[in-house]
Structure 1
Amino acid sequence: MPRIPDWYCQVGGMITDWPLYVLFAEKGDIAFLPEAMGVYRLHPGGAFSPKSDLTKLETMEMLYRIVNEGTEFRHDKDLRAGHGRYFLDMARTYLDQGRTDLARRCLREARSYRPRGQFRGLAEAFSLEVRSWLRRRASL
């Protein structure tokens, strides 16, 4: 069991699972199992689920930053890639829901944290932006 560093407590207890996986991965090998091995329950009594969508996005932005800084950027490339993927997925979700304000915010966030020197995902980001613009224009 790794020592729990101070940065781990900065996320306010809302999201504790995957930063813990990062800590374990730094101490030894871990594996990814592609099968569903558990269930995530959404309920109003949780710490994260009842928050507003904007608060959830702000928390995720903070979480990626804190984990990256807390691990002294040892996993910068992977964390930046995960950050970009998360926010592109959320942009797509919000766009499909017609929530273009949150979709645009997620798209900006995805772009700002894409891995340095990697352009994968930019075509998708551009496509999302165009779809957002077309939906806004159609609603006028």
Structure 2
Amino acid sequence: MLPKVSICMPTYNQEKYIAEAVDSVLMQQTDFDYELIIMEDYSTDRTREIVLEYKHKYPEKIVLLLNEENTGAESLIGFVNVFNYCRGQYLAFLDGDDYWTSPHKLQRQVDFLDGHEDFAICFHATELFCQEDDSFQPVINPPSPFRREKMTIEDLLERNFISTSAYMCRRSALGELPPWYLYLYIGDWPLFLLCAQHGYIGYIDEVMSRYRQHPAGIWSSNTNRGKLEGVIEMYQLINSHFSYRYSRIINNQLKKMYFKLMKEFLLENDLVNAKKCYHQCLKRWKYKEGLKNTRLLSRLGFRVCFPGLYKIFKASGSVKDGCN
């Protein structure tokens, strides 16, 4: 019999956390079968040894994929390999350094999707756990404007309010992933968007997972500039993939991303790339942006387009840089 749910778990050098992640899956209380597919990406610590022990204990529950070389933290090739092994009607995801907190998580989400055929995604609230000081913070995802029972792809294009550990989707809603997906820096958000084009997004207002924030995390360890560049790349590819049906929303978000990226380049004193971002932002600027934001853009534009004059005026105290 095929499992009802397939859980995808990529892991690399997570010997401190992987057991807690796997245990949080194995504690699930369900009236259906599920499988846990672990992709171990040729770790240099004890991660592989640990997942092999779990496979030995739970051979009927765990599918173990052992890479013979490291595919790289920034590569999505390994994830796609896991995805291709999934046999379940529904897919859930859990990174090897996060964990679920409710033994009823899978059952709750399956019950929701079984009862709402026009929904492609179901997710729940997630709590942030800061590993460095062992502290918990208030619910971080989703923020209050997105705690609604029913949402659409338009909502998700504005912001990624779904944590990977909270996500469940219909396997049929994803189909075959497009080739460009393999080369993205961000993996979860575009995956959610590809699925959300086929149905509504449902929300369960209960914390059932924790996102672990630590210095070695892929997203946490990246620079602000790297994060912004990754989001911009994703928006551009998604816009093309959807044949520009959502250009109004995406261009509005790109404007914000380019504005933030321009400020990052200015902090690095990289005027060439700051100017490129300024022009990208200016192309998407609307008269309704408000006087304060328009003045700030004009001031930053003056700095990147006329650096010599800007230095003279700044030395005289006539302008502020607007980057802080």
Do Structure 1 and Structure 2 share a fold, with TM-score over 0.5? yes
Count of residue correspondences: 125
Query: Which position in structure 1 is the counterpart of 2:302?
Result: 130
How many angstroms does 1:134 deviate by? 5.8
Closer, same or farther: CA 129–70 of 1 in aligned 2, 3 Å: same
User: Once the two structures are aligned, what percentage of the paired residues are identical?
Assistant: 15
Cα distance in structure 1, aligned partners of 2:276 and 2:193 = 26
Pair 1:10 & 2:180 matched:
yes
Q: Which amino acid aligns with 2:180?
A: Q
How many angstroms does 1:46 deviate by? 5.5
The one of 177, 183, 200 aligned to 1:28? 200
Cα distance in structure 1, aligned partners of 2:202 and 2:307 = 43
Unaligned segments of structure 1, at least 5 residues: 32-36
Cα distance in structure 1, aligned partners of 2:266 and 2:248 = 27
Give the number of the structure whose residues are more often helix, by fraction.
1
Query: Which position in structure 1 is the counterpart of 2:273?
Result: 102
Give the number of the structure whose residues are more often strand, by fraction.
2
Q: CA RMSD in A?
A: 3.7
Query: Residue deviations 1:42-99, cap 9 Å, x none?
Result: 76x959x78xx79x84x65543222012122232111111111101111012213322
Query: Which position in structure 2 is the counterpart of 1:83?
Result: 254
Q: TM-score, normalised by structure 1?
A: 0.63
Cα distance in structure 1, aligned partners of 2:212 and 2:307 = 34
Cα distance in structure 2, aligned partners of 1:128 and 1:15 = 28
Quick check: which has more Rg, 1 or 2? 2
Query: Residue deviations 1:4-63, cap 9 Å, x none?
Result: 5554x31414222221232344321367xxxxx7466676x959x78xx79x84x65543
Closer, same or farther: CA 22–83 of 1 in aligned 2, 3 Å: same
